[in-house]
Amino acid sequence: MKLTNKIALVTGAGKGIGRATARLLAQEGATVVVNYHSSEKAAHAVVDEIKERGGEAVAMQCDVADGDDVAAMMQKIIEDFGRIDILVNNAGILIPQPFDETTPDAWDKNMETNLRGTYNCIKAVSKPMKEQRAGKVVNVSSISSIVGSLTSAPYAASKAGVDALMKTLAPEFGPYNITINSVAPGPVETELFTSNYSKETADKLAQSTPMGRLATPEDVAKVILFFASSDSDFVTGQTLIVDGGRIIR
C-alpha cells in the first residue's frame, strides 16, 4: 500500500470526488479525516464504508471558509494523530450564472469556499508539515481555471486563483520536502454537476470529449492519489488536467 501510516485530510469528503478520494486513500493505508460542512450524514456514511473495508477514518465538521474553524480542526487532528501528511483541498461550490446575472453574493460565495477555503487549509497545514519536513498538498481545481467558463465566471476565477496560489507556494514549500499540485478535472458525474446541469447538457459535454464520456469521481481520485503518494515526490507546482482530452478539441 502506498500510504501506510499516513494521516490525510480530505475536505468536502462526503460526496463526489471527495468521497472517492477518501475511500481510495484509506484503501492505500492512510487514516483519513473526512471533512464536511453540512453533509454530516453523508460524511459519516463514508467513514462507515471505509471502516467496513478495514480502513481507518474519522469525520470532522468544519467550514473551510472560516479560518478559525479550520485552525481548530487542524489542532484537533494534530492532537489526535500527532501529524498531518496529506491535504486534499476538495471542498468547493459552483453557482452557474451568465455573467450579466452574476451577483456580488454569488461571487463572494465562490471565492470564500473555493479560494479562501483552500488558502485557509494550506495555511493550517503549513507549519506542521514544515516541522515534519514532509507533506503533500493536492488542490482540486478545474479546467475552467485554464479555459474559462461560459456559465460561471466566479467559479472559473476562483479556481484560477487556486492554481496561482499553488504555483506561488511550490518554491517556498520545496525546501521542506512539501509538494503542492493541482488536479484540474473537466465535467465529472457528481451531485454538484448533475444538480446544476441538465441531462441534455451532460450528454453534449460527453460527446465533445474524445473519450466519449464524462469523468467519474474515481477517475479524478486516482490522479489525486498520485500526487498524495511517493510516486510524485519530484513533482511540484503542476496542474494535471483530467478531462478525457476535452480541452484539446
Q: Which residues pair with 155 in a beta bridge?
A: none
Catalytic residue among 119, 155, 176, 197: 155
First to last CA, the chain: 37
CA distances from 127 to 47, 56, 103 (A): 27, 25, 36
Q: Are 46 and 34 in contact (CB under 8 A)?
A: yes
Alpha helical stretches, state H, 8-134: 16-27, 40-52, 67-81, 104-110, 117-132
Q: Reply yes or no on whether 197 is catalytic.
A: no
**C-alpha span between 135 and 174 (Å, rounded):** 10
Q: Are 95 and 139 in contact (CB under 8 A)?
A: no
Catalytic residue ranges: 155
